[in-house]
């Protein structure tokens, strides 16, 4: 009997060894992930062979080349002429935009335009929304004013009080004849059910689901999620930023308390870029309800705004990590200051080194992170990385007034970025993200005022405090840091 059991265990061990070996071959020779991610996966497979294989199936697989090709095929719709015109203009060294912040950021704009087709738009009007109630009250008011269409896209959509209220508002507009299209990510909004949207569909609304599960209600695809939060109303008003939809974003969560985030409400030609992004995502997800690129979705916009900006997208379907490159270029441009707000700080070596160089060059680098985790491993990886910056002179603060989810980067009080991308490898490599890159001193000053207000309710996280952490915390940080390429 013991011999039989031993033979079975031996056979299982051999099978696990073969499976791990095959997966290692896939990692190294076929998928060709970057070296740090490959080593992280090999360690997982070595130390937890069976469960490591399961974890890899859940979060490790690379998006297939065929799928990436299909998505690349829909990236260019209707804006080719404007893109080509701007490419010619910005390639001419004698051409000037007649706006100081734009001309000073010419290289950054060039990079995002040439490689991301991120059109530069001017005369935008921006409203900064940093409080959940303020954001949702304004959104509901704008929904009620819609006349032609409402396009809405969120990563997390809770069917709670605020979620129900927005769905009711969308349903009423659909009954009035306004075309309502609602797109959500299947994993982020996994608790949102068909029955919750039945009345909206009955009223004529259309629903799109990004990367739905083939094994509902369980979604095994944890990577390649659509992390974007976009709203477009009547083609002239748009939203982009960090707020999802749920009561917790109104500060009603016992765990997190007050929720501090940053969202933009935009009136102006940049809304056309938001519309383009929505159409691309919608047509990939809602294959039975394609949106044609028509003038009615891109009306002429009369605005008295003064803000120049680009709407920049990135994701696993992109050839380059454009939002990360945008961040990197901004950091390299800095002469005086770099201010960052992010819930997760797990930069890759290039970004981390760029920030170190900035610190060592005398540039004022300040970072605000949460004082509490919403994902334990990510939090420990965050504190590990900020420790390196503390050593070279960065000022790091922990937000004490609840939870900070804001994704903001400001440089020299001139150029800023606000959007959905965190400073982590998941946002740069694995998720579909969208950020606004803004070239205007006034907007940067408004963001700075909010940053300074946050500092008043934050605690300085010094090198001395960091050095006093326990051996257990250091161990957790080491493990999290090691696994950070795959978190």
Predicted local confidence at residue 66, as pLDDT: 47
For the question of residue 407 being annotated catalytic, the response is yes
Segment 230-234 mean pLDDT: 99
Confidence tier at 62 by pLDDT (50, 70, 90): low
Range with the poorest average pLDDT among 54-58, 297-301, 424-428:
54-58
Given 234, 261, 317, 348, which residue is catalytic?
Answer: 234
Higher pLDDT, 486 or 184: 184
Last residue in a domain, options 62, 77, 102: 62
pLDDT at 76 over 70: no
Pick from 283, 307, 331: which residue ends a domain? 307
**DSSP, res 427:** I
Of 135, 151, 272, 405, catalytic = 405
Q: What is the pLDDT of residue 82?
A: 76
Rounded Cα gap, residues 188 and 163, in angstroms:
14
CA 256 from centroid of its chain's CA atoms: 20
Name the residue range of residue 292's domain.
68-92+123-307
pLDDT at residue 46 greater than cutoff 80 = no
Do 291 and 378 lie in one domain? The reply is: no
What single-letter DSSP state applies at residue 63?
A: P
CATH code at position 163: 3.30.870.10
Residue 86's pLDDT band (cuts 50, 70, 90): confident
Backbone angles phi, psi at 114, to 5 degrees: -65, -40
In this structure, what token pair is assigned to residue 213?
A: 């599960």
271, 134: one domain:
yes
Residues 461 and 393 occupy one common structural domain: yes
Judge if 380 and 329 occupy the same domain: yes
The answer to whether residues 222 and 74 belong to one domain is yes
- CA distance readout (Å), 3 to 16, 391, 402: 20, 58, 59
Buried-exposed string 343-358: b where 16+ CB fall within 10 A, e elsewhere: bbbbbbeebbebbbeb
pLDDT-based confidence at residue 69 (cuts at 50, 70, 90): very low
Q: How many domains does the chain have?
A: 3
Burial of 139 (0-12, 13-18, 19+ CB in 10 A): buried
Place of tokens 């950021």: 105
Name the helix (H) or strand (E) containing 126: strand 120-131
Q: Which of 345, 387, 398, 393 is nearest to 365 (CA)?
A: 393
Of 298, 309, 301, the closest CA to residue 151 belongs to 298
Three-state secondary-structure class, residue 306: coil
By DSSP bridging, strand 433-439 and strand 307-314 are: antiparallel
Domain membership of residue 326 (yes or no) is: yes
Residue 428 within a domain: yes
Judge whether residue 216 has pLDDT over 70: no
Domain boundary among 307, 337, 367: 307
- Comparing 38 with 169, the larger pLDDT belongs to 169
Question: What rounded mean pLDDT belongs to the chain?
Answer: 86
State the burial class of residue 484 (Cβ atoms within 10 Å of its Cβ: 0-12, 13-18, 19+). Answer: buried
User: Does 138 fall in a domain?
Assistant: yes
CA distance 168 to 199: 9
> Are 286 and 340 found together in one domain?
no
pLDDT tens sequence across 177-199: 999 999 999 999 999 999 999 99
CA distance 364 to 387: 16
The pLDDT assigned to 217 comes to 59
Confidence of residue 92 (pLDDT cuts 50, 70, 90): confident
Tell me: pLDDT of 288 over 70.
Answer: yes
Alpha-carbon distance of 317 to 71, in angstroms, equals 7
Q: In angstroms, how far is the first alpha carbon of the chain from the final one?
A: 43
Count of CB atoms situated within 10 Å of the CB of 413: 14
> Do 240 and 333 sit in the same domain of this protein?
no
> Residues 242, 329: one domain?
no
The answer to the question of residue 101 being in a domain is no
Burial class of residue 397, CB neighbours in 10 A (0-12, 13-18, 19+): buried
- φ, ψ at 425 (rounded to 5°): -70, -25
* 263 catalytic per annotation: no
**Backbone phi and psi for residue 365, each to the nearest 5 degrees, phi listed first:** -110, 120
Is residue 352 a contact partner of residue 388, using CB atoms and an 8 Å limit? yes
Residue 113 falls inside a structural domain: no
Q: Is the pLDDT of residue 107 over 60?
A: yes
**Position 218 confidence tier, pLDDT thresholds 50, 70, 90:** low
How high is the pLDDT of residue 484?
Answer: 65
Residues 444-462, mean pLDDT to the nearest whole number = 98
Determine the average pLDDT of the residues in 368-373. Answer: 93
Greater confidence, 470 or 17? 470
pLDDT attached to residue 45? 56
Task: Select which of 173, 229, 324, 414 is catalytic.
Answer: 229
- Write down the residue that tokens 């009997």 correspond to: 1
Are 448 and 384 contained in the same domain?
yes
For 12, phi then psi, to 5°, come to -65, -40
More confident residue, 371 or 44: 371
Judge whether 207 lies within some domain.
yes
The answer to whether residues 416 and 464 belong to one domain is: yes
Q: Which of 129, 343, 315, 113 is nearest to 239 (CA)?
A: 129
Provide the pLDDT for residue 23: 53
Whether 438 contacts 296, CB under 8 Å: no
Give this prediction's pTM: 0.87
The residue ranking higher by pLDDT, 46 or 87, is: 87
Catalytic-role residue among 348, 412, 424, 454: 412
Q: For residue 37, give both structure tokens.
A: 């991610």
Residues 297, 190 share a domain: yes
Half-sphere exposure of 413 (CA within 13 A, CB side): 10
Same domain, 83 and 231: yes
Of the residues 151, 173, 385, 407, only one is catalytic, namely: 407
Q: What percent of the chain has pLDDT over 70?
A: 81
Please report whether residue 385 resides in a domain. Answer: yes
Q: Rounded to the nearest 5 degrees, what angle is found at the Cα of 366, between the Cα atoms of 485 and 239?
A: 75
Mean pLDDT of 291-315: 92
Annotated catalytic residue within 227, 272, 414, 429: 227
In a domain, 449, yes or no: yes
What mean pLDDT is predicted for residues 415-438? 95
Predicted local confidence at residue 71, as pLDDT: 47
């Amino acid at each position: 009997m013991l011999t039989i059991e031993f033979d079975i265990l031996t056979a299982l061990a051999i099978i696990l060894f073969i499976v791990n070996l095959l997966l290692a071959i896939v990692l190294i020779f076929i998928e060709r992930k970057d070296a740090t991610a490959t080593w992280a996966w090999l360690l997982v497979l070595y130390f937890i062979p069976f469960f490591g294989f399961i974890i890899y199936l859940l979060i490790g697989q690379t998006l297939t080349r065929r799928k990436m090709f299909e998505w690349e095929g829909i990236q260019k719709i209707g804006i080719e002429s404007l893109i080509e015109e701007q490419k010619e203009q910005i390639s001419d060294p004698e051409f000037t935009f007649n706006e100081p912040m734009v001309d000073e950021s010419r290289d950054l704009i060039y990079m995002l335009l040439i490689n991301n087709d991120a059109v530069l738009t001017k005369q935008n009007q921006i409203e900064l929304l940093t409080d959940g109630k303020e954001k949702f009250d304004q959104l509901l008011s704008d929904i009620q004013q819609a006349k032609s269409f409402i396009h809405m896209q969120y990563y997390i959509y809770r069917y709670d009080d605020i979620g129900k209220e927005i769905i009711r508002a969308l349903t009423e507009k659909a009954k009035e004849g306004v075309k309502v299209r609602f797109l959500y990510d299947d994993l982020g909004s996994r608790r949102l059910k068909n029955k919750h949207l039945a009345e909206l569909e009955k009223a004529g609304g259309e629903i799109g689901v990004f990367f739905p599960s083939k094994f509902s209600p369980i979604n095994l695809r944890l990577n390649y999620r659509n992390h974007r939060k976009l709203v477009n109303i009547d083609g002239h008003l748009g939203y982009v930023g960090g707020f999802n939809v749920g009561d917790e974003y109104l500060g009603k969560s016992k765990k997190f308390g007050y929720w501090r985030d940053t969202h933009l409400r935009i009136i102006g030609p940049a809304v056309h870029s938001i519309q383009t992004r929505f159409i691309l995502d919608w047509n990939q997800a809602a294959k039975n309800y394609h949106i044609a690129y028509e003038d009615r979705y891109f009306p002429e916009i009369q605005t008295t705004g003064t803000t120049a900006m680009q709407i920049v997208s990135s994701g696993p379907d992109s050839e380059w990590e454009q939002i990360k490159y945008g961040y990197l270029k901004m950091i390299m441009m800095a002469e005086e200051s770099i201010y960052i707000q992010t819930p997760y700080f797990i930069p890759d070596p290039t970004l981390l080194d760029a920030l170190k160089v900035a610190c060592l060059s005398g540039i004022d680098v300040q970072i605000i992170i949460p004082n509490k985790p919403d994902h334990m491993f990510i939090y420990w990886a965050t504190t590990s990385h900020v420790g390196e910056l503390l050593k070279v002179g960065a000022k790091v603060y922990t937000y004490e007034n609840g939870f900070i989810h804001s994704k903001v980067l400001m440089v020299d009080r001139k150029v800023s970025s606000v959007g959905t991308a965190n400073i982590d490898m998941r946002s740069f490599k694995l998720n579909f993200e969208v950020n606004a890159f803004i070239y205007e001193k006034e907007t940067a000053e408004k963001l700075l005022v909010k940053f300074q207000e946050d500092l008043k309710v934050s605690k300085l996280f010094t090198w001395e405090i960091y050095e006093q952490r326990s051996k257990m915390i250091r161990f957790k940080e080491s493990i999290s840091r090691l696994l950070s390429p795959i978190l």
